[in-house]
Amino acid sequence: MLRDACPMRSEREFISRSIIAFALLLWAIDAVCGAAAGSKVSCSDEWYRFVEQKTSTGDGQGHGPDPGSDEWKGAVEFRLGIRERPDKPPRDSKAWCDYIDRLLRPG
């Protein structure tokens, strides 16, 4: 009777180890993809630098609004030609950052 139970135990161990290996693989993929997409985090300092590179709100001599400020966000809207669009979210929301991100990264 004990001999019959042993194969089931090894099958359970195999399944358990396979599940753990699969979970670790998913975690590793998420970690790599998350690091590669770091600039996609809206409203972060890195994201502000990305938007600034795409829209160039300064005068080329180091003068311009501080990235992330309301003045800067207005300059971004002006550069993208969306300042008067009624469908854009309020500037003080994450939704605004997401909206701008979709404009800069279509698809």
- The per-residue pLDDT for 3 is 54
Residue matched to tokens 């909206």: 99
- The per-residue pLDDT for 104 is 95
- The per-residue pLDDT for 4 is 56
Distances 42 to 2, 45, 58, 85, 97 between C-alpha atoms, Å: 59, 9, 20, 20, 5
- The per-residue pLDDT for 17 is 78
Q: What is the pLDDT of residues 11-69, one digit of tens each?
A: 888 787 778 777 666 666 655 554 444 446 889 999 999 999 999 998 888 788 999 99
φ and ψ at 30, to 5 degrees? -60, -40
Nearest to 99 by CA among 55, 56, 43: 43
